Amino acid sequence: MVKVKLFANFREIAGKKILEIKARDVEELISRLVDLFPDMEDLIEREEYLHVMVNGIHINSLEKQRTKLEDEDVVAIFPPVSGG
């Protein structure tokens, strides 16, 4: 199982800070999240809105959505942060 930490809108939709989900890669994980929480689909479809890190490394520095996941990996999912 992969530990998934949710932030901001994703946390609000799921009603939880942390989930445990079985997935082979990031793409499957995202698909399972949408299956569990259909309201996330709009946020997830906008890739510029979706930031995913696996064990502290952004998936853009790895294999993007094809990044393999192992048991005990920690995945953080959050929207871009802006300030002002």
Give a yes or no: residue 58 inside a domain.
Answer: yes
Give a yes or no: residue 56 inside a domain.
Answer: yes
Give a yes or no: residue 84 inside a domain.
Answer: no
Give a yes or no: residue 68 inside a domain.
Answer: yes
- Split into its structural domains, the chain has a count of 1
**Average pLDDT of the residues in 33-61:** 90
- Could you tell me the residue range of the domain that residue 9 belongs to? 2-78
Both tokens of 69, joined, read 């996941």
Output the domain CATH number for residue 18.
3.10.20.30
pLDDT of 81 reads 66
Give a yes or no: residue 70 inside a domain.
Answer: yes
User: What's the CA gap between 50 and 46, in Å, rounded?
Assistant: 7
pLDDT of 84 reads 52
Give a yes or no: residue 83 inside a domain.
Answer: no
Q: How far is CA 49 from CA 24, 70, 72, in A?
A: 23, 25, 26
User: pTM for this one?
Assistant: 0.90
Q: What is the DSSP letter of 5?
A: E
